[in-house]
């Protein structure tokens, strides 16, 4: 029986299925949910931190670049919080006790650390199905969590879109 379920969410198409499965498990087990979003520097849409040289020739350009980067990061941060608030409201409407948090860092490591700190007894995470070079260079969050978490892990496989038939 699970009492505390950590749900790792992102902006991918499979995130809704991960959320729905977690809510279903929480309702069945009378468990509480922790919705978690990790802002990762390697995700699409997340601005790369800018570290201008202190002795640059054009300090005004550096300041503008820093401000632009900060503004983009703020937008990414707000989008994550908006997603978490909407899912929190949906879980609460379904009768599930829920809270949420957002962190910046490596997704796999952060998920495991937060699950341990929060004393989760289950982590629900999605799997995008990366393989080959994509998995080698970008890594697999679900694989990392599966091998490093100190609690049970449920990996929700991204649904494959069925090929249309001509029959």
Q: What is the CATH number of domain 4-99+106-142+153-157?
A: 3.40.50.620
Lookup result for tokens 């800018």: 50
Alpha-carbon distance of 89 to 96, in angstroms, equals 10
pLDDT of the chain, 167 residues: tens digit per residue: 899 999 999 998 889 999 999 999 999 999 999 999 999 877 766 766 555 556 555 555 667 777 887 888 899 999 999 999 999 999 999 999 999 999 999 999 999 999 999 999 999 999 865 554 444 444 588 889 999 999 999 999 865 444 444 44
pTM of the full predicted structure? Answer: 0.83
* Domain range list for the chain: 4-99+106-142+153-157
Report the C-alpha gap between 15 and 27 in whole angstroms: 18
């Amino acid at each position: 029986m699970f009492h505390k379920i950590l749900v790792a969410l992102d902006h991918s198409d499979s995130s809704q299925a991960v959320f729905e499965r977690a809510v279903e498990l929480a309702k069945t087990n009378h468990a509480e949910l922790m919705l978690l979003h990790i802002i990762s520097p390697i995700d699409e849409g997340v601005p790369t931190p800018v570290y201008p040289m202190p002795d640059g020739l054009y300090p005004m350009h550096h300041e503008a670049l820093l401000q632009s980067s900060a503004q983009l990061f703020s937008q990414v941060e707000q989008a994550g919080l908006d997603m978490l608030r909407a899912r929190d409201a949906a879980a609460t409407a379904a009768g599930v006790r829920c809270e949420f948090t957002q962190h910046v860092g490596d997704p796999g490591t952060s998920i495991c650390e937060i699950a341990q700190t929060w004393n989760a007894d289950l982590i629900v995470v999605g799997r995008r199905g990366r393989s080959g070079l994509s998995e080698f260079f970008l890594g697999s969050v679900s694989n990392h969590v599966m091998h490093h978490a100190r609690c049970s892990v449920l990996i929700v496989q991204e649904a494959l879109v069925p090929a249309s038939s001509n029959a």
